[in-house]
């Protein structure tokens, strides 16, 4: 009897091993099929020999991590938030790059772009740009890409056609775009966010395929081509016949770029300490103490704030609910929050406190200091209490918390997504700060979808939100704060979740969008007026600037972007939208530590 | 015999039906709209395009149909092997997502459960031999089984991966490799597997050891054991009989453990970033991914039912009492 | 044997059994710590009193977390919630298990089939995953709620064990006597069967107590524990998020796990001791 039991059990174990290795091995042929199927007229022989490659040599590979939460499932540049690391930037390219650190538009696929008059824009494409299958990228592809927005209403730039009338092909490398009511700021944004697609491949796709398809393997014009992918990683291989090598004299240093899918920030720290990741864009708590630990890890700044600022964390309040509909109440809240504690205790000094306008440091020139001095706020609990008292908020029932002027109880909730640990601690700090001045606010941690459902539907009290990121235009920030028109559901991509209504400022924001990007004086004038209204009413309160989390290992690659003299000045991030904000240039500057 | 099997089968089918229905029900009543959530994750897509996307995706997922129709569609799709499309990893089908996680789960769970069962039983029987051994070895078993899986896992990871630097800390295999039946790959898999396996093994080992020790003691005090002793049979023989008899309740314990081990495995997978079903479940919950949740549950339910069924058969083979019971006698 | 003599005999053996003594002592120690600890805590729970992480010192007895919260305060409050979960969760599980096990075991027949079926279904469904969902449903979660959930999902173990024991008792003579004398089902169960299983019930409760603590720790660790207050599992969760071990803040991560291991381990050892006390056959071992 025992023998039977033992026999059965050993069969089970062996079966277990075999079952687990077999499907994993079965993936190999699939991956190889993908590579072989690529219509590649490659001069670079290594790609053809791909099936034999099982190892990626360490000193030629750049390991990245931090963008991909979960397995990569899409290489479709039309899926702005969810395409795999590098789909835009390494594989697909945009007309220009925009570097926020130097406030420069760098012509990439485009040779130049200029406004001939108020409503006509002339775009010249570089000659010699090719897709990785050898086909030339011409004005036809650019025209096709933009017109896809007209034909497919679900494309993310389809609204462009509300103010763009027509695109005319002047010659193989020149296009003339005629606008009805040009939104200069938005247009400049599209110049570096819309990826140029190969007409000869995409023209046969239906809307469903084009917008929701996985697009695997992708075919673009960029410096890297798709090599392999599985649940845990994406592998890009350098395209040695990339047009940029000749046209722009750029040689990308890593032969392979492997992006590893995240599972948790804690696991990421472990891997960074083990030297398995070269460029990591996770939020790593305690990174400041690791930098001096002899692991060869550095950040952009050698000391606080260590990281560049990438977006603002706002305290969004529901203005349709008392007492948050009272501007005085909101102002008291602004004075009550001890942001310094969030910066030091929660983040260990890797973030910066926001200035009262909430504008990122790269937009310092748009901050009207006079308005800020007059109407701004800072941490001052005494002032907060005074504002509350002056506005009629008193503690009537002696429970230590104030009630509204008409006597009703205040019991609010401040929320953030469950699991976003730094925000969870932040709202605990905020809650404690507010309680100290007498405002009863409790932290809650609903899970992400429940929280966003409440946010979009207008069913919340207070929420921390940082949806709007660094970009080429400060208009994007005001579009977020004062988004209009206000609807039942303010879904992702909009803003103004608190539903603040003020036609005057809405008009100003629209006016800003219609201001040319080089008219800095004009923009400043409008922005001053916007800031005056913003600081008087405080529909959202800016708290701190989240960093472009980035820590790099100098063990295999050096010459990373940093604040040091002579170091490259690019955003060291692999997040979506960042490659085309100049990060791709960092790859040409990297130096391998292996002997040449 | 037939009656016995039929009855068992009926019970299993009934259990399956009810479990699957509960499986289908529960995720539906979770708060949060998965489509909105998916769109939110898509980043700052312009608002106008969002509305079109929302309508399209809701239809694609069948979420606009009445509840009863969704239920019937579910059973229908189930028999076609179609578990829907994952919201979390759109546009990947759920079967694909689970398929890629199953091998690692099996690799982790089956050896851990089976080996710890065998080793634990041996250890427990060994400890039951003498009082001194019992008193020294047994507390070890109890402490092991009292250890929280993830705490042990993290400690092991810290010692072996960070301090001693001999084992990697996360993933299922090296990121520099493509899955292939080569020695490098197999070694890499084993390297990444050893720590999660160890944490599960160590804790479960303690549990089995204790169970076995208790069972052996009861058996050694049974009438037949005294009778054999009186007859002058060698101690080894008595112990062997006791061991075989004690195995039976341990076997049914094994069946039960399978359902519970999901919890321990989930915590371990999270600690070591081991891409198994447990972790998928957590992700699915956090992202309101109905279809993925259902798929994962289904897999676990089927797995546990199957394992229970196999163990039932094993019981019939090795336990004469069950065989008798099958032939109509009440147990 | 008369009741009085039996009790004395049990007590006699109980006091001599070292496993029981050691186990009970450890648990008792922790209970004391949980009750009186909070009054020794210098700092209020979860407040950000320090500028960052600090190792244990005279000022911070067990150091501070990465965010500057006092670990000692969290630890002693966490012990309290751990015991509450064990008590309530384990208690509910044992009660439910008793109900189902007794009725099924005593009545037999289709009642038993039905109850057994229900038990099996709950055992088959990955109840932990169910727990995850139920808990994710709620915005604000408390210790009590968590205990109730755990109790509702852990009872099948107790039910099975009690059912098996009930079976063996049901066939004894005194039960037949009671049936002949016309006693009602409930009375038979609670007057005749249960008292004979007292020891077994008590041991089942201890096992459920320990199991509930472990379950709660896992739930907390995954991030689905109580949203306010403290618990040992929650401490481990935050310590992992804050990469405590990797950054060298061992005082944040190690003590909670150690405490759980110690308490649950002590409970199990107590269990073995009790087994020996109640079961004469084991005493001679």
What are B288-304's pLDDT values in tens digits? 677 788 788 888 878 77
| pLDDT value, residue A26 | 33
Read off the pLDDT of each residue in C209-214 and give the average, rounded to a whole number. 90
Contact present, A58 and A557 (Cβ < 8 Å): no
Give yes or no for A17 touching B (CB within 8 A): yes
How many interchain CB pairs under 8 A, A with C? 61
Q: Beta strands A256-262 and A233-238: pairing type?
A: antiparallel
Across the interface, whether the CB atoms of C261 and B30 are under 8 A apart is answered no
Rounded CA separation C99/B106 (Å): 36
Sign of CA dihedral B124, C200, B308, B263: negative
What φ, ψ does residue A88 adopt, rounded to 5°?
-95, 125
Residues contacting A332, CB < 8 A, separation 6+: A384, A385, A387, A388, A391, A393, A437, A439
C-chain residues near A446 (CB < 8 A): 139
- Chain A hits for C139, Cβ within 8 Å: 413, 444-446, 450
Contacts of C137 in chain B (CB under 8 A): 29-31
User: Any chain B CB within 8 A of the CB of A418?
Assistant: yes
Verify whether the Cβ–Cβ distance C247 to A289 is below 8 Å.
yes
Find the closest chain B residue to C264 by CA distance: B146
- Nearest chain C residue (CA) to B286: C136
Cross-chain Cβ contact A284/C243 below 8 Å: yes
* A236 in B contact zone (CB under 8 Å): no
Question: Which residues in chain A have Cβ-Cβ distances shorter than 8 Å to B85?
Answer: none
| Tokens linked to C24 | 């009970």
H helices of A300-405, in order, are: 327-336, 339-341, 369-375, 381-390
Which residues of chain B are within 8 Å of residue C199 when distances are taken between CB atoms?
none
For B247, nearest residue in chain A (alpha carbons): A2
Q: What is the pTM of this model?
A: 0.84
Mean pLDDT of B272-301: 78
Is B29's Cβ below 8 Å from some Cβ in A? no
- Would an 8 Å CB–CB cutoff place A284 in contact with chain C? yes
Contacts of residue B301 in chain C, CB cutoff 8 Å? 124-126
The residue ranking higher by pLDDT, C161 or A279, is A279
B contacts of A155 (beta carbons < 8 Å):
49
Residues of A in contact with B109 (CB under 8 A): 16
**Residues B308, C268: C-beta atoms closer than 8 Å:** no
Question: Do A23 and B103 count as a contact with CB atoms less than 8 A apart?
Answer: yes
Phi, psi (degrees; rounded to nearest 5) at A76:
-90, 115
Interface of B with A in 79-98 (CB under 8 A): 88-92, 97
Element (H, E) at A110: strand A110-117
A63: part of which helix (H) or strand (E)?
Answer: strand A61-69
What is the distance between the alpha carbons of residues B287 and B21, in angstroms, rounded to a whole number? Answer: 21
Cβ distance A446 to C46 less than 8 Å, yes or no, reads no
Across the interface, whether the CB atoms of B146 and C214 are under 8 A apart is answered yes
- Which chains, if any, share at least 3 CB pairs under 8 A with chain C? A, B
Instruction: For B294, name the nearest residue in chain C, comparing CA atoms only.
Output: C129
pLDDT in tens, C232-245: 999 998 998 888 88
pLDDT tens for chain A, 596 residues long, are 455 555 555 555 554 444 443 333 333 333 332 222 233 232 333 333 334 445 788 889 999 999 988 778 889 999 887 889 999 999 999 999 999 999 999 999 999 999 999 999 999 999 999 999 999 999 999 999 999 999 998 888 988 999 999 999 999 999 999 999 999 999 999 999 999 999 999 999 998 888 888 888 999 999 999 998 887 889 999 999 999 999 999 999 999 999 998 877 888 888 888 888 999 999 998 888 888 778 889 999 998 899 999 999 999 999 999 899 999 999 999 999 999 999 999 998 999 999 999 999 999 999 999 999 999 999 999 999 999 999 999 888 888 899 988 888 899 999 998 878 899 999 999 999 999 999 999 998 887 777 888 898 899 999 999 989 999 999 999 999 999 999 888 887 789 999 999 999 999 999 999 999 989 999 999 999 999 999 999 999 999 999 999 999 999 999 999 999 999 999 999 999 999 999 999 999 999 998 54
The 10s digit of each residue's pLDDT in C59-104 is: 888 899 999 999 999 999 999 999 999 999 999 999 999 888 888 8
Nearest to A491 among B47, B106, B317 (CB): B47
pLDDT at A89: 93
Between chains, do A263 and B114 touch, taking CB under 8 Å as contact?
Answer: no
B47-87 tens-digit pLDDT: 566 677 777 777 766 777 787 887 888 788 778 777 777 77
Non-local CB neighbours of A322 within 8 Å, separated by 6+ positions: A404, A408
Q: Which residue of B has its CA nearest to C209?
A: B146
3-state secondary structure chain C: CCHHHHHHHHHHHHHHCHHHHHHHHHHHHHHHHHHHHHHHCCCCCCCECCCCCECCCCCCCCCECCCCEEHHHHHHHHHHHHHHHHHHHHHHHHHHHHHHHHHHHHHCHHHHHHHHHHHHHHHHCCHHHHHHHHHHHCCCCCHHHHHHHHHHHHHHHHHHHHHHHHHHHHCCHHHHHHHHCCCCHHHHHHHHHHHHCHHHHHHHHHHHHHHHHHHHHHHHHCCCCCCCCCCHHHHHHHHHHCCHHHHCCHHHHHHHHHHHHHHHHHHHHHHHHHHHHHCHHHHCC
Judge: A273–C246 Cβ closer than 8 Å, yes or no: yes
pLDDT band at B46 (very low <50, low <70, confident <90, very high): low
Interface test with chain A among C137, C228, C246, by most A beta carbons within 10 Å: C246
Distance (Å, rounded) from C-alpha B318 to C-alpha A1? 6
**With an 8 Å Cβ cutoff, are A289 and C46 in contact?**
no
User: Which of B44, B92, B108, B311 to substitute to test the interface with A, most A CBs within 10 Å?
Assistant: B44
**Nearest-CB residue to A344 (from C51, C242, C246):** C51
Distance to chain B for A467, nearest Cα, Å: 7
User: Which subunits sit against B, judged by 3+ Cβ pairs under 8 A?
Assistant: A, C
Smallest Cβ distance to C242: which of A273, A286, A444?
Answer: A286
Percent of chain C with pLDDT over 90: 22
Is B49 close to A274, i.e. CB distance below 8 A? no
Residue bearing the bigger pLDDT, A375 or B330? A375
């Amino acid at each position: 009897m025992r023998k039977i039991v033992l026999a059965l059990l050993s069969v089970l174990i062996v079966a277990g091993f075999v079952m687990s290795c077999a499907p994993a091995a079965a993936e190999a042929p699939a991956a190889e099929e993908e590579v072989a199927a690529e219509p590649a007229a490659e001069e670079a022989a290594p790609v053809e020999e791909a099936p034999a490659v099982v190892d990626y040599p360490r000193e030629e590979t750049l390991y990245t991590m931090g963008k991909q939460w979960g397995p990569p499932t899409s290489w479709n540049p039309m899926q702005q938030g969810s395409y795999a690391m590098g789909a835009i930037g390494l594989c697909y390219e945009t007309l220009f790059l925009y570097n926020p650190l130097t406030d420069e538009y760098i012509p990439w696929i485009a040779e130049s772009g200029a406004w001939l008059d108020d409503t006509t824009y002339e775009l010249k494409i570089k000659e010699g740009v090719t897709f990785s299958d050898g086909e030339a990228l011409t004005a036809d592809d650019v025209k096709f890409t933009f017109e896809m927005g007209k034909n497919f209403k679900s494309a993310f730039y389809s609204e462009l056609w509300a103010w763009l009338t027509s695109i005319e092909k002047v010659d193989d490398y020149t296009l003339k775009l005629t606008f009805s009511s040009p939104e200069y700021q938005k247009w400049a944004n599209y110049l570096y966010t819309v990826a140029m697609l190969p007409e000869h491949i995409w023209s046969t796709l239906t809307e469903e395929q084009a917008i929701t398809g996985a697009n695997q393997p992708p075919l673009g014009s960029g410096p890297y081509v798709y090599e392999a992918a599985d649940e845990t990683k994406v592998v890009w291989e350098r395209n040695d016949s990339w047009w940029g090598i000749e046209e722009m004299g750029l040689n990308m240093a890593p032969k392979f770029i492997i992006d590893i899918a995240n599972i948790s920030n804690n696991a990421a720290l472990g891997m960074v300490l083990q030297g398995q990741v070269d460029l990591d864009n996770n939020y790593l708590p305690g990174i400041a103490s690791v930098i001096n630990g002899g692991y060869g890890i550095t950040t952009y700044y050698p000391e606080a704030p260590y990281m560049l600022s990438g977006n603002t964390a706002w305290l969004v309040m529901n203005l349709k609910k008392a007492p948050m509909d009272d501007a005085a109440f909101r102002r008291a809240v602004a004075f009550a929050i001890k942001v310094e504690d969030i910066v030091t205790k929660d983040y260990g000094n890797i973030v910066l406190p926001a200035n009262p306008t909430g504008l990122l440091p790269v937009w310092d020139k748009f901050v009207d200091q006079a308005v800020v001095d007059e109407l701004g706020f800072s941490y001052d609990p005494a002032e907060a209490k005074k504002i509350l008292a002056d506005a009629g908020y008193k503690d009537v029932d002696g429970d230590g918390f104030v009630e509204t002027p008409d006597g009703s109880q205040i019991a609010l909730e401040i929320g953030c997504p469950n699991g976003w640990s730094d925000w969870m601690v932040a709202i605990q700090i905020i809650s404690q700060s507010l309680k100290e001045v007498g405002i009863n606010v409790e932290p809650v941690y609903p899970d992400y979808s429940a929280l966003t459902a409440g946010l979009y539907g207008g069913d919340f009290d207070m929420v921390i939100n940082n949806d709007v990121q660094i970009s080429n235009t400060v208009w994007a920030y005001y579009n977020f704060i004062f988004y209009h028109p206000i609807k039942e559901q303010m879904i992702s991509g909009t803003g103004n979740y608190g539903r603040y209504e003020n036609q005057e400022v809405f008009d100003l924001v629209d006016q800003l969008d219609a201001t040319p990007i080089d008219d800095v004086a004009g923009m400043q004038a409008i922005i001053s007026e916007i800031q005056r209204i913003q600081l008087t009413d405080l529909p959202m309160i800016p708290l701190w600037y989240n960093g472009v989390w980035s820590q790099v290992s100098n063990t295999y690659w050096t010459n990373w972007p940093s604040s040091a003299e002579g170091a490259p000045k690019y955003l060291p991030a692999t997040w979506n939208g960042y490659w085309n904000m100049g990060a791709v240039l960092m790859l040409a500057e990297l130096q391998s530590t292996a002997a040449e | 015999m037939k009656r016995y099997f039929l009855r068992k089968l009926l019970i299993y089918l009934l259990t399956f039906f009810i479990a699957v229905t509960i499986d289908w029900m529960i995720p539906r009543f979770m708060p949060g709209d998965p489509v909105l959530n998916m769109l939110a994750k898509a980043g700052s897509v312009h608002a106008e395009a969002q509305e079109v996307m929302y309508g399209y995706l809701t239809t694609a997922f069948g979420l606009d149909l009445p509840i009863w129709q969704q239920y019937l569609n579910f059973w229908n799709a189930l028999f076609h092997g179609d578990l829907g499309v994952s919201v979390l990893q759109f546009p990947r089908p759920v079967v694909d997502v689970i398929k890629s996680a199953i091998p690692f789960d099996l690799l982790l769970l089956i050896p851990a459960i089976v080996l710890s069962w065998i080793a634990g039983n041996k250890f427990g029987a060994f400890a039951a031999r003498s009082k001194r051994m019992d008193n020294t070895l047994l507390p070890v078993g109890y402490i092991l089984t009292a250890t929280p899986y993830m705490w042990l896992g993290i400690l092991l990871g810290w010692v072996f991966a960070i301090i001693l630097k001999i084992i990697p800390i996360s993933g299922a295999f090296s990121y520099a490799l493509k899955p292939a039946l080569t020695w490098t790959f197999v070694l890499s898999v084993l390297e990444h597997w050893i720590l999660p396996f160890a944490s599960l093994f160590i804790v479960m080992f303690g549990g089995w050891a204790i169970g076995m020790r208790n069972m052996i003691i009861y058996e050694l005090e049974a009438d037949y054991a005294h009778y054999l002793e009186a007859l002058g049979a060698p101690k080894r023989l008595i112990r062997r009989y006791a061991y075989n008899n004690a195995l039976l309740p341990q076997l049914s314990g094994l069946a039960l453990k399978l359902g519970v081990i999901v919890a321990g495995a989930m915590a371990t997978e999270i600690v070591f970033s081991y891409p198994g079903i447990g972790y998928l479940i957590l992700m699915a919950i956090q992202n309101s991914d109905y279809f993925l949740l259902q798929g994962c549950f289904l897999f676990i339910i089927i797995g546990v039912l199957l394992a229970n069924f196999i163990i039932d058969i094993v019981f019939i083979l090795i336990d004469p009492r069950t065989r008798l019971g099958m032939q109509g006698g009440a147990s | 044997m008369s009741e009085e003599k039996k009790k004395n005999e049990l007590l006699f053996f109980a006091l001599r059994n070292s496993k029981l003594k050691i186990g009970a002592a450890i648990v008792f120690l922790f209970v004391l710590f949980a009750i009186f600890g909070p009054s020794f805590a210098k700092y209020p729970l979860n407040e950000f009193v320090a500028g960052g992480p600090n190792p244990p010192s005279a000022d911070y007895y067990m150091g501070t977390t990465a965010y500057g919260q006092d670990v000692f305060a969290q630890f002693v409050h966490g012990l309290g919630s751990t015991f509450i979960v064990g008590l309530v969760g384990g208690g509910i599980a044992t009660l439910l298990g008793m109900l189902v096990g007794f009725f099924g075991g005593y009545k037999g027949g289709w009642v038993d089939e039905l109850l057994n079926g229900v038990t099996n279904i709950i055992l088959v469904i990955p109840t932990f995953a169910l727990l995850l969902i139920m808990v994710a449903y709620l915005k604000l979660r408390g210790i009590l709620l968590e205990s109730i959930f755990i109790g509702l999902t852990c009872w099948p173990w107790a039910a099975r064990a009690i059912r098996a024991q009930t079976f063996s008792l049901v066939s004894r003579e005194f039960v037949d006597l009671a049936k002949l004398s016309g006693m009602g089902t409930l009375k038979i169960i609670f007057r005749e069967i249960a008292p004979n299983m007292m020891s077994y019930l008590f041991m089942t409760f201890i096992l459920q107590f320990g199991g509930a603590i472990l379950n709660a720790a896992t739930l907390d660790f995954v991030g689905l524990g109580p949203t306010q207050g403290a618990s040992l599992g929650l401490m481990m969760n935050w310590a992992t998020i804050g990469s405590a071990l990797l950054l060298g803040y061992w005082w944040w991560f190690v003590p909670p796990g150690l405490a759980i291991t110690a308490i649950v381990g002590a409970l199990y050892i107590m269990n073995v001791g009790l087994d020996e006390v109640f079961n004469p056959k084991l005493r001679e071992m």
